Amino acid sequence: MADSLRGKTALITGAARRLGEAISLALARQGVNVVVHYHRSEAAAQALCGQIERLAVSATRLQADLSDSRQTQGLLNRAGPIDILINNASVFEQETLWETTEASLARNMQIHAAAPLVLARAFAQQDRPGHIVNLLDTRVTTYDREHAAYHISKRVLLTLTRMLALELAPKIVVNAVAPGLILPPPGQDEGYLKKLTYTNPLKRHGDPADVAEAILFLLNSRFITGQIIYVDGGYHIKGHTYD
């Protein structure tokens, strides 16, 4: 039997827009109070908090730059006690291994790996049972040569998911969701998705709701930890490399 999520509190990083917004609303519909973390999207975060409150749960918004370790360190204290941590914030920078710089590698590592680690440890220190879900990318199973620093750091997050699942057990379960073709990157439109539907066996793209549903499944489970759910139309089986 699944535990009810009603009355729990979730901190969702990068929550104001896109997948973060869909995840926030999906949790709020289940009665979860949401701490909406954002970096630059203040107006969107404010609007989202209004939508969440109309679902009769509480919404708090917190700004922080997760590429700045001091701001990351302070985020959990500012959020207060939580039951759920969703590490969703991300940057998706186009650069091959030949183009990537130490600065971009450091930034990607900070946002995709160091921040989830620091937040997970701070969560564990609150000494409450709970759930962590990390957002990976189905391309951790293949090779994304166009986004080298992103790819490296998401692979670190994959390893970190398993390490945290061991280290934080039995109190906190740690899982991941690895989306595939869901939303076009900023600046691209629906045509980007249509062009790439051939890369997965289901020959279509998913929706933010598909990702949110997988997260809810994990949050409602009691005996799953260290697991990765690929929400990718089967891309990870096929192992397409985009070459």
Ligand X SMILES: NC(=O)c1ccc[n+]([C@@H]2O[C@H](COP(=O)([O-])OP(=O)(O)OC[C@H]3O[C@@H](n4cnc5c(N)ncnc54)[C@H](OP(=O)(O)O)[C@@H]3O)[C@@H](O)[C@H]2O)c1
Out of 12, 52, 61, 179, the only residue in the binding site for ligand X (CB under 6 A) is 179
The structure tokens listed for 168 are 């934080």
Helix (DSSP H) and strand (DSSP E) numbers for the chain: 9, 7
The only residue of 26, 49, 62, 91 in contact with ligand X, by rule CB under 6 A: 91
Q: Which stretch binds ligand X (CB under 6 A): 4-12, 37-45, 98-106, 216-224?
A: 37-45
CA 112, CA 72: separation in Å to the nearest integer? 12
**DSSP conformation class of 98:** T
**Which residue, 130 or 180, has its beta carbon nearer to ligand X?**
180
Contact between 173 and 132 under an 8 Å Cβ cutoff? The reply is yes
Q: Candidates 9-17, 98-106, 166-174, 194-202: pick the segment binding ligand X (CB under 6 A).
A: 9-17
Is residue 17 near ligand X by the rule CB under 6 A? yes
d(CA 150, CA 145): 10
Q: Report the residue number whose CB is nearest to ligand X.
A: 14
Q: Which helix (H) or strand (E) holds 231?
A: strand 228-231
| Binders of ligand X in range 41-70 (CB under 6 A) | 41, 65-67
Q: Is 124 in the site for ligand X (CB under 6 A)?
A: no
Q: Does 24 bind ligand X (CB under 6 A)?
A: no
Q: Which is nearer to ligand X, 31 or 145 (CB)?
A: 145
Q: Note whether 36 and 62 are within 8 A (CB).
A: yes
Q: Does 137 bind ligand X (CB under 6 A)?
A: yes
Q: Does 164 bind ligand X (CB under 6 A)?
A: no
Beta bridge partners of 37: 62
Q: How far is the CB of 219 from ligand X (least distance, A)?
A: 16
Instruction: Name the burial class of residue 150, with classes exposed (0-12), middle (13-18) and buried (19+) by CB atoms within 10 angstroms of its CB.
Output: buried
| Segment lying near ligand X (by CB under 6 A), choices 3-11, 82-90, 160-168, 194-202 | 82-90
DSSP state of 147: B
Nearer to ligand X, 7 or 50 (CB): 50
Beta-bridged to residue 174, according to DSSP, are 132
- Residue 1 is given by DSSP the state -
Nearest residue to 52 via CA among 31, 80, 75, 82: 31
Please identify which residue in 57, 75, 182, 215 interacts with ligand X, judged by CB under 6 A.
182
The site for ligand X (CB under 6 A) is made up of 14, 16-20, 38-41, 65-67, 88-92, 111, 135, 137, 179, 182-183
